[in-house]
Structure 1
Amino acid sequence: MTSIEVLAELEVSMSELATPMRVYVEAGRFTEPEPDLPELAARIRTLLAAIAADDAWRRFLPGYTPPSVPAICASLEPVETHEAASFLAQVAGVDLVWRSHRHLPAEAAERMAERVVALLGPEASWWTNHDAECGAVNGLTPVFDSLLAGMQGEHFALALQIADD
């Protein structure tokens, strides 16, 4: 599959995981040579800025400015590739506040999440703002949020669920 085909598939698959006003996604191709965590964090920061500008969230985030790239890097924890699809399906499908509420049917979320992970491949790096050891979340916003970000040398995929109780 060519880089352009991977990008197109990645964008379609990620868009299937988005839900209005709750799960925001982005997929793309890096323009920087040899991108690493700071380049991924910059893409996360851009997504956070877009959410803050969204009319649905502006009232919950008055005066909010996304964290700096170094602060985003510091908030991220690695996720093992074999755990990425289930984590992505959870971020996209299960409500952060009301765990019994689903944003997407489980099968659809799992299918698209597995496709995204397969497109980025086994060498991809995955990151979250969750600390798996203690269960804490390093919030990127002043409300509830849950992020999963993946990258491989050329492409990236971001999914962030945001909620306010």
Structure 2
Amino acid sequence: MASSGDSAELEAGMAELATPTRVYVAAGRFTAPEPDVPELAARIRALLVAVAADEAWRRFLPGYTPPSVPEICAALEPVEAHDAAPFLARVAAVDLVWPSHRHLSAEAAGRAADRVVSLLGPEASWWTNHDVGCGAVNGLTPLFDSLLAGTNGEHFALALQIADD
């Protein structure tokens, strides 16, 4: 598990994966004892609230209210631990609408994603809004979005890319 001293490093690693108005991130330490998926979903909802409040997206999301915590929980699909770093790097680097466009270089995204996954540790659980089996996305917004969320039961890391064509 990440130590309390690793919180700042986790937040810094996630900040390296953020890009203005496209890739939003959050990381930190849970305050509730023994947090589980509902607490992680509450952090995801808080990130969605921040995206909806961003001037860049407000006009695309008129009247948008993020899904409830139970709805977010229902939208989440597990990601195998060995797939977490490459998935996180893709969320940060590869544009959802135009895959040939990069928000970050593959190398920079890969290094930061590897560090974040390492900080959360091998026992971390990872979740996405993608159904890996069929390729469908359980959208959290009315736009294109891609989420990866991880937790080790003490700390969490979230990355959400949002796009509109």
What's the TM-score, normalizing by structure 2?
0.98
What residue identity is the alignment partner of 2:126?
W
CA distance in 2, matches of 1:68, 1:54: 19
1:24 matched to 2:24? The reply is yes
Contact 2:2 2:155 in 1 (8 A): no
CA distance in 2, matches of 1:40, 1:2: 16
RMSD: 1.0
**Unaligned stretches of 5+ in structure 1?**
none
Alignment correspondent of 1:64 = 64
**Unaligned stretches of 5+ in structure 2?**
none
State the Cα distance separating 1:2 from its structure 2 match.
Answer: 7.0
Alignment correspondent of 1:106 = 106
Cα distance per residue 1:84-114 (max 9 Å; x no partner): 0000000000000000000000000000000
Matched residue of 1:99: which SS?
A: coil
Alignment correspondent of 1:150 = 150
CA distance in 2, matches of 1:45, 1:140: 9
Please list every run of at least 4 consecutive aligned residues from structure 1 whose deviation after the TM superposition is greater than 6 angstroms: none
Alignment correspondent of 1:37 = 37
Q: How does 1:78-117 map to 2 (within 5 A)?
A: 78-117=78-117
What residue identity is the alignment partner of 1:104?
L
Quick one: structure 1 residues 80 and 2, their matched pair in 2 at CA, closer, same or farther if it must change by over 3 Å? closer
Alignment correspondent of 1:48 = 48
